[in-house]
Amino acid sequence: MAAVPPHQTLIEALGMAQPPKESRLSLPTASRIPLAGVSGFALGVALGSAHGSQTAALRFRAEHAHKMPTSEAGWYLYHKSKNYHATRGAMREGLRLGSRIGIWAVLAFSLESTIDRCRGQTDMISTICASVTAAGCFSAWNRFSLPAAARSARYGLLFGIGYGGLQDAVSLLKGRPVGYIQSIRKLFKGGAPTSALEA
């Protein structure tokens, strides 16, 4: 790889820089992908902590059901120990699930950006392709059965349609042309210019 000129950043050298108007949600790719990872990690920590805390507390109660305390001091120590186990379970499960969701979010958003660059267009189609591909990779990684893999693909498709549609709506509100909408307009208008940019 050639040396990067001093006036050019690594992002610009790799061709990942986009004008803000062309970027998804007006966030450059170099900011959007790490932000997706951090958001996925935060969501995973929240969900994993809640689940891990509840599971650890129930496990503690089940393991100590045969020797319940009989004194006030015993109950104090019982609850203190239960809270300790619940906190430890919340931290362990939160970090585990947060890491997993963060990694898969970075994968999905990186795929979306790669598909955008390969197609030369930034629209919902790239988001759908990336979401369904990430869902397929997730299913293969976890060795899901065929019905479970189909369910994951359906969730990926729904996420792609919802999130991609939201991004396209924001793009239209900002005046940026969206590829498939431009194609549909051309089809119904017989190839006439559809915007001031094409005129």
pTM: 0.74
Residue 196, pLDDT score: 44
CA distance 57 to 82: 6
Instruction: Dig out the tokens for 52 from the structure.
Output: 């891990």
Higher pLDDT pick, 176 / 84: 84
**pLDDT tens per residue across span 135-159:** 999 999 999 999 999 999 999 999 9
How is the chain split into domains, by residue range? 27-109, 121-176
**pLDDT tens per residue across span 59-88:** 999 999 888 899 999 999 999 999 999 999
CA distance 62 to 92: 20
Residue 199, pLDDT score: 45
CA distance 123 to 181: 9
**pLDDT tens per residue across span 122-137:** 888 889 999 999 999 9
